[in-house]
Each structure stands twice: as structure tokens, then as C-alpha cells.
């Protein structure tokens, strides 16, 4: 898929097919105006795909610390920095630059970040934090909301990794790239169809995959 970005035709880099050094470098900080311009184009690219929920500028060859995320709602990350993280969890995740593959990683269920365009900080968390600190969730319907919010927090971490020159392969908990056929039945996977996103154990996700959903 080709997209015109800042006057130049760009495509999402497939790291299995090409070795682009911008993928593995810490990206330059940008001004708010430049960051918003790049973010607009990144959303244009992301929205044309069926298999992605986040995209960093270096994934299309641009040296700029800008990324976009669209899980629960759209978010723009300009010069983002993680300032706090808590509740480490195992996670299975994929990447647009490594299509059709995924890896086991360790992430945090909650992160606090700073960005260029927001004063103070933002919290992305699968766990509700009340006035007394970390809150709790009950079993049932709210569990799905927690999983979706956890996915958003993980996606934020994934894209900030890109901006720091870290690939998903650098986060692997083992040395083997996992294909869809090797996903454990109890692995949490993210699936997407159109604008709909679900996070399910693979054994439950299989019926959705058979019905045309894609692993994100």
C-alpha cells in the first residue's frame, strides 16, 4: 500500500523484506506544528488498513518522534515519553512492520506519559485508578472494557518503542518469532475487523478469525 506523505510516496516498511536504518534509530523531536502535520498523514495511512491500531513515523521512513494510536479513540503522540509504568503483564502482540507474525512480550497494564501537545501527563490503563490509588474491576462485562484499555496502554508502549528505535523483536521474551499457527490457546490476541477491536484468548478468537477478523 502506497500513500503520499509530505509530498513523497511512502509505504509501511516490511522489516522482513527491507533493512531501513530509520526503524532502529531514536527519532528526532519535532515542533508541535510539524508533529500535527505528520500525525494527520499517519492517520490517513492507518485508517486505510484493516489490520492496524497504531503507526509510528519511522514505519513509513520518516525521522520524526510522532505516532498515532486508535484503539478506543484516536490519540496523537508527539515527542512522547513514558514517565511511569506499573503492573507488568505478559502479552502477545504483532506489528505492521512484521506482517503475519507476533511475539510474546512483557508490557505494563498501565502507563503515564507526557507529550508535546498536552500539559501535564496522560494515563492509559486497563485498571481504573480511583482517588485512593489503583482501583479494581469486577468480573463480567467490565472485563472486556479492561482488556480493551489494556490493549490501548500496550499499543502506546509499542509505538513509543518505535520512536526510540526499538523493534518488537527487541522485546521478545523468547528467541522464536511466533506465527499464527504457533499461538498458544490461552494467549491473549488482538483481533480487528473494520473499526471493531476485540482482545480474546486465541481459542475464543479463532471463530472470529474464521469469520474474517484479522490478528492486529
Catalytic residues, by residue number, are: 159
Question: Which grid coordinates are listed for 110?
Answer: 498501565
Query: Which helix (DSSP H) or strand (DSSP E) does residue 160 occupy?
Result: helix 141-163
Report the DSSP pairing between strands 8-11 and 2-5: antiparallel
Q: Name the DSSP letter for residue 173.
A: S
Q: Name the DSSP letter for residue 187.
A: -
d(CA 68, CA 202): 26
d(CA 47, CA 69): 11
* Phi then psi dihedrals of residue 188, to 5 deg: -75, 130
Asked if residues 73 and 154 have their Cβ atoms less than 8 Å apart, the reply is no
Question: Which grid coordinates are listed for 61?
Answer: 521512513
Asked if residues 117 and 32 have their Cβ atoms less than 8 Å apart, the reply is yes
Amino acid at each position: 500500500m502506497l500513500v503520499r506523505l509530505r509530498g513523497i510516496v511512502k509505504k509501511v516498511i516490511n522489516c522482513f523484506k527491507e533493512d531501513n536504518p530509520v526503524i532502529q534509530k531514536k527519532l528526532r523531536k519535532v515542533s508541535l506544528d510539524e508533529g500535527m502535520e505528520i500525525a494527520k498523514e499517519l492517520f490517513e495511512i492507518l485508517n486505510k488498513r484493516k489490520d492496524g491500531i497504531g503507526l509510528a513515523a519511522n514505519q513509513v521512513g520518516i525521522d520524526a518522534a510522532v505516532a498515532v494510536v486508535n484503539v478506543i479513540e484516536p490519540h496523537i503522540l508527539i515527542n512522547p515519553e513514558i514517565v511511569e509504568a506499573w503492573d507488568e503483564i505478559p502479552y502477545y502482540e504483532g506489528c505492521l512492520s512484521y506482517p503475519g507474525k507476533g511475539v510474546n512480550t512483557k508490557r505494563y497494564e498501565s502507563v503515564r506519559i507526557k507529550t508535546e501537545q498536552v500539559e501535564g501527563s496522560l494515563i492509559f490503563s486497563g485498571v481504573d485508578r480511583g482517588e485512593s490509588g489503583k482501583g479494581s474491576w469486577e468480573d463480567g462485562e467490565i472485563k472486556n472494557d479492561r482488556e480493551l484499555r489494556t490493549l490501548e496502554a500496550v499499543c502506546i508502549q509499542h509505538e513509543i518503542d518505535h520512536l526510540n528505535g526499538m523493534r518488537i523483536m527487541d522485546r521478545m521474551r523468547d528467541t522464536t518469532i511466533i506465527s499464527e499457527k504457533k499461538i498458544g490457546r490461552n494467549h491473549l490476541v488482538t483481533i480487528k475487523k473494520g473499526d471493531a477491536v476485540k482482545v480474546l484468548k486465541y481459542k475464543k478468537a479463532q471463530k472470529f478469525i474464521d469469520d474474517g477478523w484479522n490478528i492486529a
